[in-house]
A and B are shown apart, each in its own frame.
Chain A
């Protein structure tokens, strides 16, 4: 699980071009949106593609993403449970 969390942090930084953010700066419980990492609705769409491409998880409604992408913890938990690759 902690490997997955590290992997997610690296992917988020790369996928969303968060050049000035280091993996260590993202705590597992930090909110990813709003204050915290400051992601927005376009980033959410980027993350939905990441779920599909890397973990085989398809979301039909962008609203579903809100709960899943709350923090690294929630994301890792959801992926561990639903991944098909």
Chain B
């Protein structure tokens, strides 16, 4: 008998003020930009200076979001740490490459190289907690976080672990933004929160963030929701999407009508938002809909913001107006998240109130 999987706590550092779990999108930061930085917490309140001195931004953000999640779950340690990241601590990798070129391979220092290892966040959290358990890092673009979720789900369902810290983190870095603007993966014209989806331009608004969650097979007072299922697809054609969604829901004994809210990853890229259109105008035309990338921006683990948002929505039984994509009222009990990036790395995540 497979055990149920619960989201027992959340922690977030994002382009919105999300680091304080007692609030839920009360202060919104609007912008007119092509890229977004996180609203930084006071890192010094979380990290002693001696420990902070070599920390990349991704590690700092993740220290805050993972500590927040552990605290809310009432845990001092966990059985496993699983992290998703598209690019790791990219700022250090980027600077290391730049130093190699500028200094012609001389006088390079180890710290930037060490931070460049994709598993540095998972390793640092383990080091900080003294957690000797299972420690994995997934690095597959827009499904990096979902890969981590799936791994945790396998272990919790089979009772190989009880509490797992699962997260997603990515940094925004100048060189990365500028190069990807050259190929129109990121927008060259600034947009605002309101104009993102109607921009009719190519590319996304790049951002960054770190989200951590304690997933457990034991329900407790702090529990947000139950993770019913998730699936990852390397690529799908738009025409295949409705059938894949239907069979995913059927596999988990749900129908389209059972979905109270569908959370979509629209990022305002005229070339790829069609995937979401297929669902919002088709399969889920009569379902309450929400979106989130106008708040979080786009990054490889932006879908972890959607996971955070959906967990909060279910726990508070309310959908903030700012994320509503249509006017239908949602009872916010059963939530489906769909995300993809540039037509690849699709994911479906089904959450339910419990």
Contacts and interface: CB of A to CB of B under 8 A. Distances in A.
A binds B: yes
Interface of A: 15-20, 38, 42, 45-46, 49, 52-53
15 contacts: A15-B109, A17-B54, A18-B53, A19-B53, A20-B50, A42-B54, A42-B110, A42-B111, A42-B114, A45-B110, A46-B109, A46-B110, A49-B109, A52-B107, A53-B106
Nearest to A47: B109
Size bin of chain B's contact surface: 10 to 19
A19 B49 contact: yes
Contacts of A19: 49, 53
Interface in B30-73: 49-50, 53-54
A49 B107 contact: yes
Contact of B50 (A38, A46, A52): A38
B59 to A, nearest CB: 13
A45 B249 CA distance: 54
Contact of B53 (A17, A49, A52): A17
B53 A45 contact: no
A46 B54 CA distance: 12
A68 B106 CA distance: 22
B183 interface: no
Given A45-B110, A49-B109, 10 more contacts: A15-B109, A16-B53, A20-B49, A38-B50, A42-B110, A42-B111, A42-B114, A45-B109, A46-B111, A49-B107
Closest 5 CB pairs of A and B: A17-B53, A53-B107, A20-B49, A45-B110, A49-B109
A52 B54 CA distance: 21
A72 B58 CA distance: 33
A42 B50 CA distance: 14
A53 B106 CA distance: 9
